[in-house]
Amino acid sequence: MENDAASAGVRLGGLFNTAEIKILICYILNSVNEPVPATMLVNELHFEGIANGFEVSDAIVSLNNSGHIKLANADDDSYVVTEKGKETSETLKTSLSLIVKNRAFAIAIRLLARFKNIKQTSFDVVNENGVPYIVCSVLDGDLPLMSIKLLLSDENQASCIKERFLDNPTEIYKTIIEKLTK
């Protein structure tokens, strides 16, 4: 019964061993080489079926306490790998299966794309005469290349729109330009 709870959401080829989960976290943070919010790491590993989200959360706390990773930004609970974590990642990455490493690499690529998208976008929720709007912008440096203002049915819809926009702002920009110039 305990194993069922620990394996919740973990696919075949996923990790159940805490030591392997810790190695994987160091491996991903080393690969990304950017601060990664803990919630994003937990969600990615859980939703990919690599490891149980609770186990990943516990591993992050343990790695932070042991000095393998450190808090980079308290505002968004982001972590980076330390030199100790890099050494662990390099020394022990051979203990992870190829399937897990490939899935971890795909996660790292997605995280890097997400960080790039975050840096190239901005979002503002504004109220005009009691009506909520979200303004989503694609940036070229500090200048808005494109801004879209959308009426919201409620404030909760803003986070959904933001997440979808962050998935691929370049594609949204390209599609709009294509539609307007055909």
DSSP string for 44-59: HHHHTTSS-HHHHHHH
- pLDDT less than 50: residues of the chain: 1-13
Tell me the residue type at 37.
Answer: P
Global pTM? 0.68
- Check if the beta carbon of residue 82 is closer than 8 Å to that of residue 6: no
Q: Give the residue from 182, 49, 161 showing the smallest Cα distance to 103.
A: 49
The answer to whether the Cα torsion of 15, 18, 24, 28 is positive or negative is positive
Q: Output the pLDDT for position 93.
A: 67
Q: Output the pLDDT for position 1.
A: 34
Q: Output the pLDDT for position 102.
A: 79
Q: Give the residue from 26, 31, 86 showing the smallest Cα distance to 56.
A: 26
Q: Output the pLDDT for position 47.
A: 82
Q: Output the pLDDT for position 116.
A: 83
Q: Give the residue from 54, 48, 73, 59 showing the smallest Cα distance to 26.
A: 59
Q: What is the CATH number of domain 2-118?
A: 1.10.10
According to DSSP, residue 7 is labeled T
Q: Which two tokens stand for residue 18?
A: 């805490």
Q: Output the pLDDT for position 142.
A: 85
Q: Output the pLDDT for position 3.
A: 43
DSSP 124-178: EEEEETTEEEEEEEEEETTEEEEEEEEE-SSTHHHHHHHHHHHH-HHHHHHHHHH
**Residue located via tokens 């959401």:** 9
According to DSSP, residue 34 is labeled S
Domain residue ranges of the chain, discontinuous segments joined by +: 2-118, 120-181
Q: Output the pLDDT for position 5.
A: 39
pLDDT digits (tens, 9 = 90+) for 50-91: 888 899 999 999 999 999 999 998 787 899 999 999 988 887
Q: Give the residue from 159, 179, 8, 12 showing the smallest Cα distance to 100.
A: 12
Q: Which two tokens stand for residue 62?
A: 């343990």
**Residue located via tokens 């080829």:** 13
